[in-house]
């Protein structure tokens, strides 16, 4: 390297270090170490929960977290760390209910969630977020205080409304508080336009078989009379929205009661674009949520065996090829979405759907596997899935998990590596498979 190139190289390092110093100083420490430091400095821990495949995460890292103003505020107020939610940050992500990325979380020195926001933000909104997090920590209505007060404030209309607003602001589910407020509120007449607008505003938190649905059904005609054309469309969809919200809440809370409420109301939805999914799948999910292992194994066996018996492999391949050719000739438009759809259809629409069902049901089935008969049943599903899409990683991955549970770590590692080799370098599933492979090699529980 000549002298001039060496000078430029040194300057690049210096300038690069200066630029990094201007942005957020993310410390390369664990979550536990960050809590110790936060307690020592009496600060919140700021966590950027990200994944390697998350494009908005990369955008924030490149253009927001590097900003001098953002860095000045966050470095002075918080202990800042980044956690990959699928790797080293997996346990923390689960604890704080992280399911979308990026999630920006602020944690007290005692390890409690103080504030949380999901989704990418620009520089101004990221600075605003820091102020909101700081305010929430020292407020009488911090997340911790609100949750402590909630049980004794069930008849306090003003508190419940504040509770709902704050839970939404903190990125928490306000479902329970919202129902409690609707049941006792005197602020809005139930047949008034303000109530319709309130329901629209909070529609993603409304469930069936509660006060919200009661209000909607009792006042639907009045709402429709006062609705604009846009609101009429939203009103027609609201019942279905509430039904699917109930399903999501059942999964989130693990409630078989909510799942049964969803199924009952789903059956009553009119056939059409607002009604999706299958009754067999939902009934199987209900049994899963009851945690009755024997009942689930029987239901799962009936479900998968029935699915496999409807069509022959030859018929599936023929129909999938025909659909792929038709889509490519008449509907395909080059784009990220179009290319992805085309690639999936090339694998086979029905084949991919059945493989996904075997994978999803198979992992749940595996949790209850005990006898040779159980493992033989699961192996038969995997063999069928192998024939559907030989190039897919999913069946090798499931077989690895089954073998590992049976105590055959050597073969399990072999199939896990086969699964990993079938995944592209930029696959969002790769980090999970790599993590599980390392656990197998170390003899750890999956």
Q: Catalytic amino acids?
A: 54, 57
Burial of 32 (0-12, 13-18, 19+ CB in 10 A): exposed
Q: The tokens of 246 are what?
A: 């109930």
- Distance separating alpha carbons of residues 200 and 91, to the nearest angstrom: 35
Nearest to 30 by CA among 76, 97, 90: 90
Cβ atoms 173, 245 nearer than 8 A: no
User: Is 263:254 a contact under the CB 8 Å cutoff?
Assistant: no
Lookup: tokens for 445: 């529980």
CB 44 within 8 A of CB 133: yes
Hey, how many other C-beta atoms are within 10 angstroms of the C-beta on 439? 14
Q: List the beta bridge partners of residue 117.
A: 104
- Which structure tokens are listed for 433? 């498979």
Residue 14 CA to chain centroid, in angstroms? Answer: 40
* Residue pair 389/351 in contact by the 8 Å Cβ criterion: yes
């Amino acid at each position: 390297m000549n002298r001039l190139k060496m000078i430029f190289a040194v300057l690049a390092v210096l300038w690069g270090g200066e630029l990094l110093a201007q942005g957020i100083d993310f410390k390369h420490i664990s979550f536990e170490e960050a809590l110790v430091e936060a307690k020592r400095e009496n600060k919140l821990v700021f966590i950027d929960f990200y994944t390697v495949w998350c494009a908005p995460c990369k955008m924030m890292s490149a253009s927001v977290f590097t900003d001098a103003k953002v860095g000045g505020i966050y470095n002075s107020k918080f202990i800042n760390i980044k956690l990959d939610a699928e790797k080293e940050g997996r346990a923390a992500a689960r604890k704080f209910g992280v399911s979308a990325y990026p999630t920006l979380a602020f944690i007290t020195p005692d390890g409690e969630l103080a504030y949380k926001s999901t989704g990418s933000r620009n520089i101004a909104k990221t600075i605003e977020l820091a102020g909101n997090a700081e305010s929430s920590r020292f407020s009488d209505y911090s997340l911790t205080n609100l949750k402590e007060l909630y049980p004794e404030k069930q008849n306090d209309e003003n508190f419940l409304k504040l509770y709902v607003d704050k839970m939404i602001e903190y990125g928490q589910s306000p479902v329970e508080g919202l129902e409690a407020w609707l049941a006792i509120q005197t602020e809005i007449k139930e047949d008034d336009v303000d109530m319709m607008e309130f329901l629209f505003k909070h529609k993603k938190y409304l469930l069936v078989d509660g006060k919200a649905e009661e209000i909607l059904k009792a006042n639907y005609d009045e709402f429709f009379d006062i609705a604009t054309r846009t609101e009429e469309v939203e009103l027609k969809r609201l019942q279905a929205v509430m039904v699917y919200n109930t399903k999501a809440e059942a999964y989130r809370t693990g409630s078989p009661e909510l799942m049964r409420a969803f199924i009952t109301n789903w059956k009553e939805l009119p056939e059409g674009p607002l009604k999706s999914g299958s009754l067999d799948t939902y009934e199987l999910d209900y049994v899963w949520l009851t945690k009755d292992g024997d009942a689930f194994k029987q239901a799962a066996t009936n479900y998968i065996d029935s699915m496999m018996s409807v069509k022959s492999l030859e018929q599936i391949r023929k129909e999938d090829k025909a659909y792929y050719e038709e889509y490519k000739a008449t509907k395909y438009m080059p784009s990220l979405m179009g290319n992805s759809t085309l690639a999936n259809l090339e694998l086979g629409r029905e084949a991919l759907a059945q493989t996904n069902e075997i994978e999803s049901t198979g992992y749940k089935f595996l949790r209850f596997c005990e006898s040779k008969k159980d493992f033989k049943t699961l192996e038969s599903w995997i063999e069928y899935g192998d024939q559907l899409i030989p190039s897919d990683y999913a069946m090798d991955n499931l077989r690895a998990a089954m073998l590992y549970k049976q105590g055959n770590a050597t073969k399990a590692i072999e199939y896990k590596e086969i699964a990993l080799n079938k995944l592209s370098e930029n696959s969002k599933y790769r980090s999970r498979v790599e993590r599980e492979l390392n656990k197998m090699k170390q003899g750890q529980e999956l």
